[in-house]
Amino acid sequence: MYQILDGQEWRHIWVVSDIHGCWQQLMDELKQRHFNPYEDLLISVGDLIDRGPDSVKCLQLMHEKWFRAVRGNHEQMALDALGNNDFALWTINGGIWFSRLSNPQKLTAIALLEACRELPHIIEILCANGLNVIAHADYPESVYVRDKSVSKKRVLWDRSRLSGLMAGRGEGITGADHFWFGHTPLEKRYDFNNLHYIDTGAVFGGTFTLAQLQ
């Protein structure tokens, strides 16, 4: 469930908002930042797939040495669909691309989707800016503790903390210097103390948010 990384292994480190199949747009953003695949690291807050034009290409990023990702709810919907042979929920939430693939393409996609089972729910990384925790939707506790058992469903889906914070109530999280989340498309990045919500709706005509940690 947890993956621990040492930021000293890379020169520069970025965390990126929900990718959702927007492979070319992401490549353009990395080029603008002079991203070096031999020295730098990109960490995704999850939702590599669905809605955008290149879900397979985005899944293939998992094989790149310069890329890490936490699991998003869209990866989980795909895994559940494959496991239960019930594609209805995934399809209506952006998974229609899978049904349009040829049979050989589907085999490739299935292998890549099955690899998503290895994606952690939470990444912890110590960088120049301090201790960072990356998860898709939330870390569903008031204090972060490495390897603590927490609700996987809430990590992938929960919006209650963000909704509360935006309404002027709710609590933050201690135990790390920065927490990075995606999942909820926003017009602009939302920061509440050490909590950072960075899904700025690239696939919906918005932009990618790339926050540099180091």
The active-site residue out of 20, 74, 136, 183 is 74
What are the φ and ψ backbone dihedral angles of 47, each rounded to 5 degrees?
Answer: 60, 65
User: Which tokens hold the place of 106?
Assistant: 């589907």
Environment class of 210 (CB within 10 Å of its CB; exposed 0-12, middle 13-18, buried 19+): middle
Pick from 137, 115, 134: which is nearest to 183 by CA? 137
Pick from 199, 214, 157, 164: which is nearest to 44 by CA? 199
Where helices occur in the chain by DSSP H, the ranges are: 23-32, 55-60, 73-84, 88-90, 96-99, 103-115, 152-157, 160-166
Is position 63 annotated as part of the catalytic site? no
Q: Which residues are catalytic?
A: 74
